[in-house]
Structure 1
Amino acid sequence: MKSCDDLAVSPHESHHHSVPHAHTHGHGPAAPVSRHLRKVIAAVLIPFAAAVAVGLVVLWPGGAPPHKPSGVGFDQPTEQARVVKVVEVNCADVHAQQPPRTPSPTGQQPPAGRTAEDKPCQQATIKVTTGENAGRTFRTVVTPDALRRYTAGQEVVVAYSPKAPKELQYSVTDVDRTLPMWVLAAVFAFAVVVVGRLRGVLALVALAASFIVLTLFILPAILQGSNPLLVAVVGGSAIMLIALYMCHGLTARTSVAVLGTLASLLLIGLLGSLFINWALLTGETDDTTSLVHGLYPGLEIRGLLLAGIIIGSLGVLDDVTVTQTAAVWELKEADPSAGRRALYGAAMRIGRDHIASVVNTLVLAYAGAALPLLLLFSIAQSSVGTVASSEVIAEEIVRTLVGSIGLVASVPLTTLLATLVVSADRKRLGTPDASGGTDTGPGPGSGAKAAGGRSRRRGGRGRRRKR
Structure 2
Amino acid sequence: MAHGHSHAVGDLDGPPRKRLGVVLAIIVSVITLISLAAMVSLWPDAGDIPRDRNPISGEGVSTVSAEVTSVEEFDCGSGGEGPDQLPTVDGNCAAVVADTDEGPAEFTLDSARTQAGISEGDGIELIRIQPEGQEVSYEFLDFERGVPLLALTALFAALAIVVARWRGLFALLGVGITLFALMKFVLPAILAGEPPLAVAVVGSTLIMIMLLYLAHGVSIRTTAALFGTLFGIAFTAGVGVWATGWASLTGIGAEDDRTLVATVPDLNMSSVVAATMVIAGLGVLNDVTVTQASAVWEMRALRPTARAAELFASAMRIGRDHIASSVYTLVFAYAGASMTILLLITAYQRDLSQMAATEEIGQEIVRTLVGMIGFVLAVPMTTLCAVALAPPAEDEDEAGGSHRRRFTPAS
TMscore range, shorter length: 0.7 to 0.9
Deviations 1:22-72 (A, max 9, x none): xxxxxx952255233224323432211001111222222355836242528
In 2, Cα distance between equivalents of 1:173 and 1:216:
27
Equivalent in the alignment of 1:82: 66
Give the unaligned 5+ runs of structure 1: 1-27, 102-114, 130-134, 427-441, 454-467
Equivalent in the alignment of 1:123: 96
Residue 209 (str. 1) matches residue 177 (str. 2): yes
- Kept in 1: contact 2:345–2:352 (CA 8 A): no
Residue 146 (str. 1) matches residue 130 (str. 2): no
Equivalent in the alignment of 2:41: 58
Q: Of 186, 193, 198, which residue of structure 2 is paired with 1:218? A: 186
In 2, Cα distance between equivalents of 1:258 and 1:217:
21
Deviations 1:241-300 (A, max 9, x none): 111000111111111111100011111111110010011110111111111111110111
Tell me, what secondary structure is at the counterpart of 1:364? Answer: helix
Q: What TM-score, normalized by structure 1, do the two folds share?
A: 0.74
- Kept in 2: contact 1:338–1:444 (CA 8 A): no
Tell me, what secondary structure is at the counterpart of 1:159? Answer: strand
Equivalent in the alignment of 1:227: 195
TM-align CA RMSD: 2.9
The aligned runs of 1:21-420 (5 Å cut-off) are 29-31=12-14, 34-61=17-44, 65=49, 67-69=51-53, 71=55, 79-83=63-67, 85-86=69-70, 88=72, 91=74, 97-99=76-78, 121-127=94-100, 135=102, 137-142=104-109, 145-152=114-121, 154-160=122-128, 166-167=134-135, 169-420=137-388
Deviations 1:341-386 (A, max 9, x none): 1101110111110000111111221122112212222333333432
Residue 450 (str. 1) matches residue 401 (str. 2): yes
In 1, Cα distance between equivalents of 2:191 and 2:365:
26
Distance change (3 Å), C-alpha of 1:353 and 1:234: same
In 2, Cα distance between equivalents of 1:409 and 1:42:
25
Distance change (3 Å), C-alpha of 1:379 and 1:85: closer
In 2, Cα distance between equivalents of 1:295 and 1:160:
24
- Kept in 1: contact 2:174–2:214 (CA 8 A): yes
Give the unaligned 5+ runs of structure 2: 1-10, 81-89, 405-411
Equivalent residue letter for 1:304:
V
Distance change (3 Å), C-alpha of 1:401 and 1:84: closer
Deviations 1:389-414 (A, max 9, x none): 22222111110110001110011110
- Kept in 2: contact 1:202–1:247 (CA 8 A): yes
In 2, Cα distance between equivalents of 1:407 and 1:87:
51
- Kept in 1: contact 2:205–2:233 (CA 8 A): no
Distance change (3 Å), C-alpha of 1:30 and 1:448: closer
Tell me, what secondary structure is at the counterpart of 1:146? Answer: helix
Range with greater deviation from structure 2 (168-177 or 344-353): 168-177
Q: What TM-score, normalized by structure 2, do the two folds share?
A: 0.84
In 1, Cα distance between equivalents of 2:278 and 2:148:
31
Tell me, what secondary structure is at the counterpart of 2:116? Answer: coil
- Kept in 2: contact 1:125–1:137 (CA 8 A): yes
Q: Which runs of 4+ in 1 moved over 6 A?
A: none
Identity of aligned residues (%): 33
Equivalent in the alignment of 1:6: none
Equivalent residue letter for 2:118:
R
In 2, Cα distance between equivalents of 1:192 and 1:446:
44
Distance change (3 Å), C-alpha of 1:262 and 1:161: farther
Larger Rg: 1
- Kept in 2: contact 1:336–1:446 (CA 8 A): no
